[in-house]
Amino acid sequence: MKASNAQVLWQVMEALRDANQLEDALSASLDIFCNMTESKKGTIWMHDAASARTIAVITHGTSDAIGESAAMGEGVVGEVIKNGESKAYKASEVSKLKYAGVDGPDLTGKNLLCVPIKTPQHTIGCILLTGKSVEYTAEEIQIFENCCSVLALDIEDKGFAFRPFEDREPIVNVRGIVKEFMSGEEVRRILKGVDIDVFPGELMVVLGESGCGKSTLLNIIGGMDRMTEGKLIVEGKDMSNPSEDELTEYRREYIGFIFQAYNLMPNLSAYENIEFIGEISDNPMDSMEALRMVGLEAKANSMPTALSGGQMQRVSIARALVKNPKIILADEPTAALDYDTSIKVLKVIEDIVKEHKTTVLMVTHNPEIAKMANRVVKLRDGKISSIRVNLHPLSATDLVW
């Protein structure tokens, strides 16, 4: 126990007051709870009345709760939502316990605490903490319950409407991905077991410090690099260990890549750079249409040298789009651009997701950019350190840095 009841409550209230968005406040509160109780993992679950399921929306620590959802009464979460009462389990008394359904991660042998987030009328969600070495104390439960009451009031006050992705079948399903590189005689493990689900039509941002493995992960998902261990399933197709032909086919049919460097062909016009890729695709869109989507019809005949950095990046986005890919992977697409130009390019990406319904996975180290995402995954030292749902993503034009 690190802090008193009043101190913790105060910290949570401060987090609620300081955050611009409710998700930030919830995320900050979860960090406070985990630190206070010395829990390695924490998850905030919100109840979705439409589907009558409770879904993991924000996680702290390497979480095995991602992609989980509970029906009423199912698992620890379902039970707390149903009864509206806190549940604490000692490691020794936990057997065959699950967060949610029957197939999820096994919680056997863990100290566990799950507290409802309740308004006077309803239980709207719950917070589950685990990974503490000793059992949760009565005092901790009490503090935690008080904090959850404060959270519930704030959530209600801010008109929090939780709408998860309607289609919960992930388009990309990544499990336990490990990537090792040889460095001289030594094996360096860069990805240490990464789990992610990407849902169709979402904009997911992967945040992380330089060198933490973001590009490595994106390249594996995009079929540009092979994993050492793990599983990658895209639209039900197992791409964990593909042949060269399957890989080529996969990249052509499924993936549009946007890099930090634009890699345009210098001797081809903007239009020709796009048309060239369209010609080798199975299901291309019209090249002019792709240029229109990035707002550059007027530059169709310009050569790359006559375009600005932002315009070149927009041509490279149109080039990714023209294939009509299921997924666009963007690796630091604005890192080489100034602020104004970055916003224009990000707006194009936002429009592609909203209007064209393309799934986009974008890597950046700029936390401000994460505010436009539907979900934000933080990668740290080769592992996922948190996943957050943005219930109110900002428009690119509202980002400031």
Ligand X SMILES: Nc1ncnc2c1ncn2[C@@H]1O[C@H](COP(=O)(O)OP(=O)(O)OP(=O)(O)O)[C@@H](O)[C@H]1O
Which residues sit at the interface with Mg ion, rule CB under 5 A?
Answer: 215
| Region binding ligand X by CB under 6 A among candidate stretches 61-69, 214-222, 304-312, 346-354 | 214-222
- Tokens 């963007």 — which residue? 330
- Residue 286 and residue 37: Cα distance in Å, rounded? 57
Size of the site for ligand X (CB under 6 A): 11
From 14-22, 44-52, 170-178, 211-219, give the range in contact with ligand X by CB under 6 A: 211-219
Q: Quick check: helix, strand or coil at residue 323? A: coil
Which one of 27, 216, 334, 374 is in contact with ligand X (CB under 6 A)?
216
Shortest distance, CB of residue 329 to ligand X, whole angstroms?
12
Contact pick of 211, 263, 339, 368 for ligand X (by CB under 6 A): 211
Nearer to ligand X, 190 or 285 (CB): 190
Q: How far apart are CA 263 and CA 255, in angstroms?
A: 16
Burial class (CB in 10 A: 0-12, 13-18, 19+), 120: exposed
Q: Residue 217 and residue 177: Cα distance in Å, rounded?
A: 8
Q: What is the β-pairing status of strands 327-331 and 359-364?
A: parallel
Does residue 333 bind ligand X (CB under 6 A)?
no
- DSSP bridge partners of 362: 205, 330
Q: Which entry of Mg ion, ligand X, none binds 190, CB below 5 to 8 A by partner kind?
A: ligand X
Closer CB to Mg ion, residue 215 or residue 386?
215
Query: Which residue, among 65, 165, 69, has the nearest Cα to 125 in the 3D structure?
Result: 69
Alpha-carbon distance of 126 to 45, in angstroms, equals: 5
Q: Per CB under 6 A, does 212 bind ligand X? A: yes
358 touches ligand X (CB under 6 A): no
Answer whether 115's CB lies under 8 Å from 127's CB: yes
- Please give the Cα distance from 386 to 377 (Å, whole number): 6
Nearer CB in complex with ligand X: 213/284: 213
Closest CB to Mg ion among residues 128, 191: 191
What is the residue whose two structure tokens read 């995402």? Answer: 373
- CB 263 to ligand X: min, Å: 16
The single residue among 126, 129, 172, 190 that binds ligand X, judged by CB under 6 A, is 190
Instruction: Give the x/- contact pattern for ligand X in 86-105, rule: CB under 6 A.
Output: --------------------
CA distance 352 to 9: 42
- Closest residue by beta carbon to Mg ion: 215
CA distances 10 to 38, 306, 318, 342, Å, are 18, 57, 49, 38
Q: Applying CB under 6 A, does 215 fall inside the site for ligand X?
A: yes
371/165 Cα distance (integer angstroms): 17
Q: How far is the CB of 308 from ligand X (least distance, A)?
A: 23
**Residue 399 to residues 102, 312, 383: CA-CA distances in angstroms?**
41, 22, 27
CB of 208 to ligand X, least distance (A): 5
Per-residue x/- marks for ligand X, 143-182, CB under 6 A? --------------------------------------x-
Q: Cβ closer to Mg ion: 81 or 190?
A: 190
Q: Which is nearer to Mg ion, 149 or 260 (CB)?
A: 260
By CB under 6 A, is residue 208 in contact with ligand X? yes
Contacts to ligand X by CB under 6 A: 181, 190, 208, 210-216, 365
